[in-house]
Structures are given as C-alpha cells and as structure tokens.
Amino acid sequence: NAGVTQTPKFRILKIGQSMTLQCAQDMNHNYMYWYRQDPGMGLKLIYYSVGAGITDKGEVPNGYNVSRSTTEDFPLRLELAAPSQTSVYFCASSPYRAQNQPQHFGDGTRLSIL
C-alpha cells in the first residue's frame, strides 16, 4: 500500500517558470491537502479539497492553484515561480468519517526557486 505519493522529490526552478507538483493517494480518501514548510517553521495549509471537483483556500494560497478531477489525484500548480515559494511541499489525505481522523502525509517535494 503506497499511501500518499508525491513527485518529484526535488526540483530547481528559475524565477517566472511554472510547474505542477503531483500528489496521488491510493487509500480512497475524500480529503486532500497541500502544505508548505519553511525552514524552522511549522507546516502551513495552502489549499485543500473535500472531494473531486471541490477545492478551497487555506492559510497561504497566493501564487498557487489546485484542481481535483479524481479522488486519487490533487496536483498543485505554481504559475509564476518566485523566490518566496522556495520551500518543502507536503501533500496529505484523510478519510471521511464522523469523527476526527489524522492526516497521512507524503514524503514531500523540495522546491528551490533561483
């Protein structure tokens, strides 16, 4: 069982370039999330989705876009990369339950914008 898979693991971009960070989960989870972690800081929520076709902004959405066409995939798009987007990006998922459930994380994508 692969869980949450993120690709690529590392990427260097030039300022102004665009790219898509991929995230896939095989646990049939309804909820999916994107976080970023800056050095010495906690994770901050960028976007989340409660199901296919439904997405919403988190705490730090500026400069990013998401889509959710299937239950399994939740890609994160950077349109015009800026140095401030240098960070480690984590994707997570959790199941739909009546009670609170922990989120399961992928291993992250380390992104540098130069």
Q: How far is CA 22 from the centre of its chain?
A: 8
Give the one residue of 34, 81, 106, 111 binding other proteins; rule: CB under 8 A. Answer: 106
Q: How many residues bind other proteins (CB under 8 A)?
A: 30
74 near other proteins (CB under 8 A): no
Contacts of 99 (CB under 8 A, 6+ apart): none
41 near other proteins (CB under 8 A): yes
12 or 80, CB closer to other proteins? Answer: 12
**Selected range binding other proteins among 12-20, 31-39, 62-70, 79-87, rule: CB under 8 A:** 31-39
Contacts of 25 (CB under 8 A, 6+ apart): 3, 4, 5, 32, 72, 74, 91, 93, 104
87 near other proteins (CB under 8 A): no
- Report the length, in residues, of the chain: 114
**Binding site residues, other proteins, CB under 8 A:** 4, 31, 33, 35, 40-45, 48-50, 56, 58-59, 90, 92, 94, 96, 98, 100-108
